[in-house]
Amino acid sequence: MKILGIDPGTQRLGYALITESKDLICCGIIQTFKENSDAQRLAEIRKDLTKLIDHYEPDILSVEKLFFFKNPKTIIPVAQARGVILEIAGSQKIPTYEYTPLQVKQILTGHGRAEKSLVAKMVEQEVNIKEKLKYDDAVDAIAIALCYLRMDYLVVDAAT
C-alpha cells in the first residue's frame, strides 16, 4: 500500500509518498510562482499533482486539514489548493483522510502543541530517509502520511 501525504499550499505544496512499511518512495514540493495569477498557480498544482498520482498510483491520500491559521491572508489560497487536491482525489477515487496540524502533532509526538522540530525528529526516526530533506513542507507531508498508518479511522471520503 502507498500513502501520499500532502501539506497544502499555493506557493509550495509539500508531498511525500510512503509505503505501509514506512519506506519513503519520494518526496518534495510543487512550487508555483507568485507572479502568476491564482488560477495559473492552481492549474500548475493540478497538473503536477495529477502527474505525480498517475505515475505512482497511491492507494490513499492523506492531507492536512484547515483548522486555524495565524495569518488570515494565507487561509483562502491554502483552501483553494486543498480544493484542487480533494477534487483530484475524488475524481480518481482515491480514499482521502484529513488530519489537523494538532492531530498530526498529537499522533506523532503524543503532544498536540509539539514544536515542528520534534515532529521532524519523529519523522526521521519512523521513516527510512537516506538524506537530509531540503523542505519543511516535504517533512510535514511525510508526517501527514504517517498519520494514516497510525490512525486510519478518520476517513473523510472513502471511495468504494
Active-site residue flag, 48 = no
Choose the catalytic residue: 44, 98, 137, 140: 137
The full DSSP string for 78-144 is HHHHHHHHHHHHHHTT--EEEE-HHHHHHHHHS-TT--HHHHHHHHHHHSB--S--S-HHHHHHHHH
User: 148: helix, coil or strand?
Assistant: helix
Amino acid, res. 48: D
How is residue 30 written as a grid cell? 510543487
Structural contact between residues 27 and 8, judged by C-beta atoms closer than 8 angstroms = no
Catalytic hit among 44, 64, 98, 140:
64
59 is catalytic: no
- Among 18, 157, 17, 1, which residue's Cα sits nearest to residue 88? 157
Task: Given the residues 7, 44, 98, 140, select the one marked as catalytic.
Answer: 7
64 is catalytic: yes
Distance of CA 82 to the CA centre of its chain: 10
Q: Annotated active-site positions, please?
A: 7, 64, 137
